[in-house]
Amino acid sequence: MPSIKPIRPRFHLEVLSATQREAIKSATLRVLEQTGVKFPSERALRVFAEHGAWVDMATQIVRLPPDLVLEAMGRAPRSYVLTGRAEGTDLTLDGTCSYFGTDGCGTETLDFTTGERRPSCKEDVARMARVVDYLPSVAFYWPMVSAQDCGRLAPLHELDASFNSTAKHVQTETVMGARPAQYALRMGEVIAGDRERMRARPPFSVLICTIAPLGQDKEGIEAGMVYAEAGIPVGFMAMPNMGSTAPAVPGGALVVGNAEVVSALVLMQLVAPGAPVFHSILASVMNPRTAEYIVSTPEKYLCNAAAVHMAHDWGVPSLAGGFGVDAAEPASWQLGRDSVYSALMCTLAGTDMSVGLGMLGASTLLAPEQIIFDDEIYHTHRILAEGIDTSSDGLALDVIAKVGPRGHFLAQKHTRRHIQDLWIPELTHPRQPLDGTPMPGIQPRAKAKLDSILAEHQPQPLEEAAQAELRTILEAAAQELGS
Amino acid sequence: MSKEEIITRLAQSVIDGEPEDAVELAKQALDEGLDPLVCINQGLTAGINRVGELFASGEYFLPDLIIGGEAMKAALAVLEPALAGDQERQILGRVVLGTVRGDLHEIGKTLVGTMLTANGFLVTDIGIDKPAADFVSAAREANATLIGASALLTTTMPEQQKIVEELKEAGLRDQVRVMIGGAPITQGWADKIGADGYAEDAISAVALAKQLVGVPV
Ligand code: B12
C-alpha cells in the first residue's frame, strides 16, 4: 500500500491573537460556570456531582467551577497515537503534522456503475475503504455512508466493513449508546489482539457530536464514557450553526461550541483521568432565508481555524472540518473554492486531524470519484504548506552562476534532480495517450482512476479468524440489540 | 387612541416583531371594549400576512418571521380567552409537529412549524426525541387533522412508519393525515410506509399541508 503522506506545515496561520484566545477561553469558562450544559444522562450527572460540579438533577444542567475544568483538562494528553493494522499506518498526533480523513455518514450514493442516486449500503462503506486504503492523502477512515441495508445494527456493520477493507485507522461517528459501544470495543479487541493492547494501540477512535446549543446527546455521552474507560480516543464535535443553534456572530459561535466540547471532555477526564481525547468545532451558517445549512462561508472558515487554536490552548489535539462538502455536484467551481479555504486554512492553523474528503450535498451524498478530485487538492495543499527550501541547494546559486545570463536550465543535473519534486496535478495535466487517441474529459479520468484502484488495489486482508470473530460479535449484537 | 389606531398598531407590532408591544396593545384593546375576533383578524392576522409577504419578497429574514410569529402568539394568548363562546379564530387546520424518537435535530422541524403558523395553521410543536405514541396522543388531544414528523437520521426513519401504524391501531388513521420530512426522507420512503405526503423543504411543506387538509394551494 502506498504510504500515508501527512501535511507538515512549515509556516502557520494565526487567526486569533493571544489576547483574543484568552478572551474566548475566559468567556467559555464563564458560560460553563454560569449558564451550564445539559447532560441528559444519570451516570454523567452523578459523576459531575461527585467531583464538585453544580448539578441540577431536575433540569439535568451541569455548571462547572473553572478550577474543575482547568484541572480535568490538565490531565488530558496532548499527544498520542492512533494506529492502523499495517506497517506505516500509525498516526502520531503531536502537533507536527495534519492527518486527513474522509467525510462520513452520508445517506445516498451515486452508484459506482450506473451513477444513479440511491440509498447507501454496507458495500459502499467497504468499497470506499478500499479506495482510501490506497490513497496517500487519506490517513484515517470515517465510514463514508450509512449501511442502510443493515437495519438497527448499521453502525457496527459500518465498523465491520471498514476493518475488513482498510488497514488504516478507523474513526466511527455512529456507534453510540453504552451497549453498542461495548460491541465496538470487542471488535476493536479482535483487531488489536486484546483489551490491553487495544489501550496501547487503539485501532479505532470515536467522534461524538454535542447538541447545540449547550447540550449533549444521552447515547453519545454514555458511549463516550465507555470508550474513554477503555482507552479508545474520544473526540467531541460541536456544530454551532450561526443564526439557529448559535449566536449569529463567529465569536459567540466559538464560545458556545467550546463550552459544549470542553464540558464533555471534562467528563471524560473525570471518569478516566488521562484518557486520550480531542476537540472539534465545525461551525456553519444558517441561510437567513431558508435555514439551509451552509458550511462554505468566510465566517465558518475563520471559526474552523480558530477552533484549532482553542483545542491547542486546552492542550488536546484538534479535528477540523475541511473540504467543500456543500456543493451539489462533483468537480465544480464551488467545490474547488470551498476546499481550498476550509482545508488549507485549518491545515495552516496546525490542526492534528481534519476530515471531509469525498462528500457532497452538505455531507449527505457520496459521489465516489469526488475523492480523486479531493486527493489532488490535498496534495496541492501538502506541497504548499511545506513552504520554500532556502538551503544552498534550494537557492541553486551554483547552477545560476553556471548557466549565467540568457542560456537555459534544461540540461543541468540540478534541474534533472529537482524537477521530479515539482508536483504536477495529474487530473488537470494528465499524460497524453501515445497512440493519439483523444483525451477523455476530467470527470471520466477521475472515474477511471477510481475504477483502477478498485480493480487493482488489494488492502492487507484481515486474517480469516479475525473476520469470523467480527461476524460472531455482530451476531451476538443482533441477539441482544435486535437487528 | 382610536379603535382603528389600536388595530393598526397591533398589526404593526407583529410586523415589527415586538411581543411586549403586542401584549400591551391586546390588553388595551380589551380594556377599550374592542371585539377580540376583529383584533385577531384585522390586527394580528393582517400583520402576520404582511410579514409573510415581506419574507417571500426577500426583505425579511427568518428571525423576522419567527419573532413576528412570537408577537402574534403573545397577543393571541391575551385575546383568545376573551372570545365569545360562539366565536372561533379561523385556522386552516390543526397540526401536531415533532421530531421522532432518538432524533435531536430540531431546526428543520421548527422552521416547518413557523411557516405553517405563518400560513394560518394552528401548530402544536411537541418537540424533539418523541416516540410515535406521543404524536398520536397529542393529535387526539389537539383534535388535529395533520401530523408532521421530522427524521434526520437513517436510524430514526422507522419511527415515522410507527406513527402511521399506531394511528391505525388507535383508529385515527381516517381523521389524521401524516406528512414526513428530513434530509434522508424521500417520496419513495413516504410511499413505502403509507404516509400521506413528503416535502423537501418548509415552503413545500406548507403547500403539502394545504393540499392534505383540502385547502386550495
Ligand atoms: C445541524 C446538524 C446536527 C446538529 C443538530 C442541532 C439541532 N439542535 O438541531 C447536531 C450537531 C446536534 C447533530 C447531531 C447528530 N447528527 Co447531525 N446533522 C446536522 C446537519 C449538518 C444539518 C441539519 C440541519 O439543521 N439542516 C437545516 C434544516 C433547515 O434542514 P432540514 O433539517 O433538512 O429540514 C428541512 C427539510 O428536511 C424539511 N423538513 C424537515 N423536517 C420536516 C418535517 C416535515 C413534516 C416536513 C414536511 C418537512 C420537513 O424542511 C426543512 C426546512 O426546509 C445534517 C446534514 C444535512 N445537511 O442535513 C447532519 C446529519 C443529519 N447528522 C448526522 C449525524 C450522523 C448526526 C449524529 C449521529 C452525529 C454523532 N456522531 O453524534 C448526531 C445525532 C444526534 C441525534 N440523536 O439526533 C448525519 C445523518 C446520517 C445518517 N446516516 O443518518 C447527517 C446527514 C450528517 C452526516 N453526513 O454526518 N447534527
Q: Tens of pLDDT along A205-248?
A: 999 999 999 999 999 999 999 999 999 999 999 999 999 999 99
A107 lines ligand 1 (CB under 6 A): yes
Give me the percent of chain A exceeding a pLDDT of 70: 100
pLDDT at B56 over 90: no
Are both B60 and B98 inside the same structural domain?
no
Q: How far, in Å, CA of A233 to CA of B191, rounded?
A: 42
The residue from B37, B61, B82 where one domain ends is B82
- Name the CA radius of gyration of chain A, rounded: 23
CB B192 within 8 A of CB A119: no
pLDDT at A330 over 80: no
Say how many domains are in chain B: 2
Determine the pLDDT at residue A322: 80
Q: Tens of pLDDT along A87-139?
A: 999 999 999 999 999 999 999 999 999 999 999 999 999 999 999 999 999 99
Q: How far, in Å, CA of A158 to CA of A207, rounded?
A: 14
Does any domain span residue A421?
Answer: no
Print the domain residue range for A135: 73-386
Does any domain span residue B188?
Answer: yes
Greater pLDDT, A326 or A253:
A253
Are both B97 and B195 inside the same structural domain?
yes
pLDDT at A141 over 90: yes
Q: Tens of pLDDT along A347-399?
A: 999 999 999 999 998 889 999 999 999 999 999 999 999 999 999 999 999 99
For A18, the grid coordinates are 493571544
Q: State the nearest Cα–Cα gap between B181 and chain A, in angstroms.
A: 14
pLDDT at A314 over 90: yes
pLDDT at B182 over 70: yes
Chain B contact probe: residue of A39, A60, A105, A107 with most B CBs at under 10 A: A107
Among A125, A144, A209, which residue has the most ligand 1 atoms within 8 Å of its CB, making it the best to mutate?
Answer: A209
Which residues of B make CB contacts under 8 Å with A?
55, 58, 61-63, 102, 104, 106-108, 111, 154-155, 183-184, 201-202
Are both B119 and B197 inside the same structural domain?
yes
Instruction: Note every long-range contact of A117-122, with CB atoms under 8 Å and residues 24 or more positions apart, other chains counting.
Output: A117/A365, A119/A148, A119/B154, A120/A145, A120/A146, A120/A147, A120/A148, A120/A366, A121/A145, A121/A147, A121/A148, A121/A149, A122/A147, A122/A149, A122/A150, A122/A154, A122/A157, A122/A158, A122/A161
Does any domain span residue B16?
Answer: yes
Does any domain span residue A393?
Answer: no
Are both B74 and B98 inside the same structural domain?
no
Nearest CB neighbour to B155, from listed A108, A152, A245: A152
Give the closest residue to A319 by CA, choosing from A296, A293, A340, A350: A350
**Residue nearest atom 37 of ligand 1, based on CA coordinates:** B182
Q: Tens of pLDDT along A421-480?
A: 999 998 989 888 888 888 899 999 999 999 999 999 999 999 999 999 999 999 999 999
Say how many domains are in chain A: 1
Average pLDDT estimate for A273-293: 95
Which residues of A make CB contacts under 8 Å with B?
107-108, 119, 146, 148, 152, 154-155, 174, 211, 215, 217, 219, 241, 243-245, 286, 288-291, 293, 364
- Write down the pTM of the prediction: 0.92
> CA nearest A247 in B: which residue?
B63
Print the domain residue range for B56: 3-82
Greater pLDDT, A61 or B56:
A61
A214 lines ligand 1 (CB under 6 A): no
What is the CATH classification number for the domain harbouring B198? 3.40.50.280
Average pLDDT estimate for B71-88: 90
Does any domain span residue B53?
Answer: yes
Q: Look-up: residue for cell 422541524? A: B109
Determine the pLDDT at residue B146: 98
Average pLDDT estimate for B115-124: 91
Q: How many CB atoms lie within 10 A of CB A18?
A: 10
Does any domain span residue B217?
Answer: no
The residue from B54, B82, B110 where one domain ends is B82
Phi, psi of A318 (to 5 degrees): -115, 150
> CA nearest A218 in B: which residue?
B102
Partners of A243 on chain B (C-beta within 8 Å) are 62-63
Average pLDDT, chain B: 94
Does any domain span residue A45?
Answer: no
In chain B, the N- to C-terminal Cα span, in Å, equals 38
Partners of A293 on chain B (C-beta within 8 Å) are 107
Does any domain span residue A344?
Answer: yes
Does the beta-carbon distance from A152 to B104 stay under 8 Å? no
Determine the pLDDT at residue A214: 97
Strands A117-119 and A108-110: antiparallel
What is the CATH classification number for the domain harbouring A83? 3.20.20.480
Q: How far, in Å, CA of A336 to CA of B107, rounded?
A: 28
Does any domain span residue A377?
Answer: yes
Determine the pLDDT at residue A324: 67
Among B55, B61, B105, B125, which residue has the most ligand 1 atoms within 8 Å of its CB, making it the best to mutate?
Answer: B105
The pLDDT confidence band at residue B119, using thresholds 50, 70 and 90, is: confident
Are both B162 and B206 inside the same structural domain?
yes
Are both B121 and B64 inside the same structural domain?
no
